[in-house]
Amino acid sequence: MRETSSSPTGSVAHGNHPSPVGDVEQNLQAIPESSRTRSVSGQFWIWAGANLAPINWVLGALGIQLGLSFADTVTVLVVGNLIGMALFGLFVLLGQRTGTTGMVLARAVFGRRGNYLPSAIQAVLVIGWCAVNTWIILDLVMALMGKLGLVDPAAANVGPKVVVAALIMGIQVTIAWFGYKAIAAFERWTVPPTLLVLIAMSAVAWFGMHIDWSYAGPAGHILHGAPRIAAMTGVMTVIGIGWGITWFTYAADYSRFVSRSVPRRKVYMASVFGQFLPVVWLGILGASLATKSGTADPGKLIVDNFGLLAIPVLFLVLHGPIATNILNIYTFSVAAQAMDIKIKRRALNVFVGVLALVGVVFFVMQESFANTLSTWLGALVAWVAAWGGIMLVHYFWVDKRKPVGVDRLFDPIGTKRLPVINWAGITALLVGIFSTWLFMYGVEPIMQGPIATAMGGIDLSWLAGGVVAAAVYAILGPRVHARYATDAVQGVAAADQPAGAVPVSEGVQALAPQVLAVDTVENGTLPGTALPDAPAELVND
């Protein structure tokens, strides 16, 4: 009898003939165990590379520009990202255990066709992110070219910006074209030297410049009382907890390539630390520089503070946005595939590059850098917080009680093992997004909800959206799930499952918030491990 190894999704991989990752990922499918890596360092480099980018020092500077003191900005950065990244790690683990992308996992929550809604939102926002990051590169490049006398830094330079954007977009699309292995290799080899340059850059800034570490706010406009609290909550939404939340939908797309034999603690810590370290470090750098220049514009932050030293720094810092955008381009392709778009991933990469370039032109035309960025990030939190709350309830509570193999998520349209539209998930998502808006207080009037306005500008949008969406799904979701789980678990749909299918209980129940009861073995599922919360789960390997 030929031996096979089963993936957690029901895919059967032959141990002697592993499928190349590049072949497996061209079409939407679970990543078999034989095609996964046992190296956890790749997760650190991917997430660190994605965040060693100018946008993160811009976000730190944004806190200063919006009126906060240096101490308040740093507090929001550290505390907010500790919470946000801790939650992000749970989505990383979910991808490792199932071998499946985030948008495919969402089919169980929103339905086979109902999942088109969140997948479409994700695809559109990914295009926006790609445009935002490329736009920030343009400011840096124009600042450099101005120093060299190649352009007039005071001019709009729309033409040169579009040309540079097209060249950079081509680089990003090319790297993403070759898939996960190329992305991981790019990050692994380029992050260390970039990290060294940024360490030197920080040393020059913090020890060679007169940073005002006691900066309390703009002279004559120092915030106190309710206005100070309101500003802190707004910045928390944009650069604190909100920053970690914006990565929820990406996490599983890359952790699905990590073998289930790798201890969960290592995968969790590598991913979370890879996110947390550069975000907080660069945020503090940006905030400290902003105390001198009072701006959030990345080009001015560098040129005004570093002078001629900006030339080598600007060249190397270009790495960060490119490293981020190759994730955006790749994630767009798998989100589009989750909508049953029958186009190869590589063709989708080119498509998103073109659309993102159009977005770059739009951002170039905007006059207010800080307002545009703040509005964009606030809009992201509005939907991802709701989506994340629903997904956590489903996979850490609802599916734990009645586990079902994730192989059904790849069933064709019309399957009896998934609802066409899961109105429980759709309703929870829409109510969550609406709740987010009610408690949001963004820069633009349209992003200022009535409840946040009544509270004097206090922004609790991320909390309201996540909690309300999770609560609604906790009420409506279990009944729908039970209707489709019963047949799959008890064998009515067993004939449809491939040989060797492993129920999701082996993967997701290992992440459950409590120790599974002994009777799970009697019911044909495997016992999981304790996970009272993220930190406690990590010691239970």
Residues 213-241 pLDDT 10s: 888 877 777 888 888 898 899 888 888 89
| DSSP reduced 3-state for 524 | coil
Kindly state the percentage of the chain with pLDDT values over 90: 38
Q: Angle at the Cα of 156 (from 154 to 158), degrees rounded to 5?
A: 145
- Token pair 């490329």: residue: 134
Nearest to 50 by CA among 251, 311, 266: 251
Domains and CATH numbers, the chain: 38-370 (1.10.4160.10), 508-541 (no CATH)
Averaged pLDDT score across all residues of the chain? 80
Nearest to 137 by CA among 60, 53, 52, 238: 53
Nearest to 295 by CA among 213, 369, 215: 369
Q: Is the dihedral of CA 225, 231, 234, 240 positive or negative?
A: negative
Residues 6+ apart with CB under 8 A from 199: none
pLDDT on residue 540: 36
Contact 313/306 with Cβ under 8 angstroms? yes
pLDDT at 380 over 80: no
Render 225-238 in DSSP notation, one character per residue: HHHHHHHHHHHHHH
Least confident of 42-46, 300-304, 406-410, 451-455: 300-304
Higher pLDDT, 540 or 192: 192
Higher pLDDT, 522 or 407: 407
pLDDT at 492 over 70: no
Kindly state the percentage of the chain with pLDDT values over 70: 77
* Count of beta carbons in the 10 Å neighbourhood of residue 453: 15
